Amino acid sequence: MSKQAENSDDLIAENRKARHDYVIGETLEVGMILRGSEVKSVRDGKVSLGEGWILAKEEPLELSLMNVNIGEFGPAGALGHKPTRPRGLLAKKREIHKLAKAMAVKGATIVPLKMYFKNGYAKLLVGIAKGKAAHDKREAIQKREAKRDMDRAMSRRR
């Protein structure tokens, strides 16, 4: 592997639905605790972040990635992993405390946004999210369509 490829961020999966369903506040990059067969599956891109969420506990102090599907790695056979098992996340104490306090606020949740490799390590970008109301979602769709129509009109003009 070349130095440049080793140092670049290789995007594995992105949770675009989260940006549609939630208003994302603060984001944080955390490390992941994965088994060997999970790393192989992640490198193959067999990851689904859409239904995942993060559990932040203060007693004991820990972060867990829940309900994220990492597909089975065929050659691992019986020694493989369960696709949706809880996975540990790595962050500093003060960051875990901050996420746990944010989770205590009514209507707030912590969602995975992106999974990528950075310097050979699997990383996860998590965000503190608040749910959007249905009218907010419709408003966002209308703005996006209006911008698309304006861009089309401008490109025809040229």
In a domain, 143, yes or no: no
| 3-state secondary structure at position 73 | coil
In a domain, 114, yes or no: yes
In a domain, 157, yes or no: no
Count of the separate structural domains present in the chain = 1
In a domain, 22, yes or no: yes
In a domain, 119, yes or no: yes
Residue 151: pLDDT above 50? yes
How far apart (Å, rounded) are the C-alpha atoms in residues 86 and 53?
A: 10
**pLDDT given for residue 4 in this prediction:** 39
Domain span at 88: 3-132
Residue among 96, 42, 37, 43 at smallest CA distance from 68: 42
pLDDT tens string 88-113: 999 999 999 988 888 888 888 899 99
Residue 75: pLDDT above 50? yes
In a domain, 19, yes or no: yes
Instruction: Please classify residue 153 by burial: count the beta carbons closer than 10 Å to its beta carbon, then call 0-12 exposed, 13-18 middle and 19+ buried.
Output: exposed
Average pLDDT across the chain, whole number:
84
Give the CATH number for residue 56: 2.40.280.10
In a domain, 148, yes or no: no
